[in-house]
Amino acid sequence: MKDIIQKLDNLAEETAGKLEWLAEFGKDPEGGVSRLLYTNEWVEGQHALKEWMENEGLEARFDDIGNLYGTLTGKNTNETVLTGSHVDTVKNGGRFDGAYGIVAGIIALKYLKKHFGQPLRNIEVVSMAEEEGSRFPYAFWGSKNIVGLAKREDVKDITDFDGIPFVEAMSKAGFKFKADDTAKREDLKAFVEIHVEQGSVLETEQIPVAVVYSIVGQRRFTVEITGEANHAGTTPMGYRKDTVYAASQMIFELISMAREEGDPLVATVGKIEAEPNIVNVVPGKAIFTIDVRHTNKEILVNFTEKMTERMKEISKEHGVETVIDMWMDADPVPMDATIVQLIENQFKQNGLNYKLMHSGAGHDSQIFAPVVPTAMLFVPSLKGISHNPAEFTEPADLAEGVKALIGALYELGYKE
């Protein structure tokens, strides 16, 4: 196994080349890729992938809503090991996010077939219809259909930015709702997704591949502070209800608290606005967002509660009114410990310089994990850039990822 994998010499070139090829479907004139759900570019891309799967000797098929599967049929066809990722991109996105998981999966299955023949269980690669939520206000459409969580009620009345209804776009692309939208695949024994990190940890630490033990939980807040707009010249400091002053203390303290808490906790104030936002007026209103993430639910909850308490104290000290609205509360999603261990063991056997890490971003794996034993692999992202035409991973790292995936699928698909 180890010997064969190490002999796959052209893997870097082959993987990078296939990603270039796939990026032609939805290529933006100014660089980047826009391949949004059920668009012409998306339809052409999926059909091209189907043809490629067939050329590699996989049995290819679409499901009702447009997830594309390529199967290496096993001796026991009741059990399937699934790999893959999403084929859609954000608007003007990159060549790697999602696409890498599909391309790596097809290449992995090709070499598994070539060197090891028929597996014990089905091994399948999926090119999922949608994950990003970039065309319609709905994310994870692909994976949610596979595990029976997608409800037609949620999408039947939504439209895209041009007013085109979801149902019309789906129909035009050649797909329709499943007969029973709560039906889920019962044959799935494991899901392994490989993805670019979308962060700079692996690049900075010069590690080619990681296995993910958890996807972070997220809590997002909007904080709205109301004070009093006043003349910046004629209002003495003691007379003010200065919302930007109150906000500055809250933000400074909450981010300092997050730094003290330590990894993997992250807290971000990404958006801030003042009203009336004029140089010579004491701002009567300040609004900012907070995004807090951690892999451990208890720590996430405790931190955000402590943070909220402190913000209320600061608000009182400043004599302003503060409304803290938590509008997202997603629990962390741990990966399957057995599969993670299996992958780690393999890395150790191969003497590979790997990292056990968490994912700070959301992925299809978080939809699978509560239902199917799931794990993820990461390869480095240049400077952590993602959702951007500059998204890049070195071909050598792409190849290391494919090798790791081959190893994982071999363990899961060929062994008892």
Between 127 and 218, name the residue whose CB sits nearer to its own copies: 218
Between 57 and 276, name the residue whose CB sits nearer to its own copies: 276
State in angstroms the smallest separation of the CB of 242 from its own copies. Answer: 7
Distance CA 117, CA 38 (A): 35
Structure tokens at 377: 């692999």
Between 200 and 350, name the residue whose CB sits nearer to its own copies: 200
Between 271 and 415, name the residue whose CB sits nearer to its own copies: 271
- Residue 388 labeled ligand binder: no
Q: Which ranges constitute the DSSP H helices of 223-296?
A: 243-261
Distance CA 78, CA 189 (A): 9
Distance CA 166, CA 281 (A): 46
- Contact by Cβ (8 Å): 233, 415: no
State in angstroms the smallest separation of the CB of 207 from its own copies. Answer: 14
- Residue 86 labeled ligand binder: yes
Can you tell me which residue has the tokens 């199917």? 372
Between 141 and 245, name the residue whose CB sits nearer to its own copies: 245
CA 91 to chain centre: 15
Neighbours of 211 (CB within 10 A): 24
State in angstroms the smallest separation of the CB of 382 from its own copies. Answer: 13
CB-count burial class (<10 Å; 0-12, 13-18, 19+) for 260: exposed
State in angstroms the smallest separation of the CB of 181 from its own copies. Answer: 29
Distance CA 19, CA 9 (A): 17
Between 165 and 264, name the residue whose CB sits nearer to its own copies: 264
Neighbours of 268 (CB within 10 A): 13
- Residue 387 labeled ligand binder: yes
Q: Which residues have a Cβ under 8 Å from the Cβ of 121 and sit 6 or more positions away? A: 74, 75, 76, 79, 80, 81, 189, 412, 413
State in angstroms the smallest separation of the CB of 139 from its own copies. Answer: 13
State in angstroms the smallest separation of the CB of 286 from its own copies. Answer: 8
- Residue 336 labeled ligand binder: no
- Residue 203 labeled ligand binder: no
- Contact by Cβ (8 Å): 379, 397: yes
Q: Which ranges constitute the DSSP H helices of 56-140?
A: 99-116
State in angstroms the smallest separation of the CB of 56 from its own copies. Answer: 32
State in angstroms the smallest separation of the CB of 216 from its own copies. Answer: 6
Q: Which residues of 3-37 are buried (b: 16+ CB within 10 A; e: fewer)?
A: eebeebeebbebbbebbeebbebbbbeeebbbbbb
Binding site for its own copies (CB under 8 A): 197-201, 204, 216, 218, 220, 230-239, 242, 244-245, 247-252, 255, 258-259, 262-274, 277-283, 286, 289, 291, 293, 359-362, 384, 386
- Contact by Cβ (8 Å): 80, 123: yes
Structure tokens at 291: 């995004």
Between 127 and 214, name the residue whose CB sits nearer to its own copies: 214
Between 46 and 365, name the residue whose CB sits nearer to its own copies: 365
- Residue 280 labeled ligand binder: yes
**Which residues sit in the known binding site for allantoate?**
220, 280, 293
**Which residues sit in the known binding site for Zn(2+)?**
86, 97, 132, 195, 387
**Which residues sit in the known binding site?**
86, 97, 132, 195, 220, 280, 293, 387
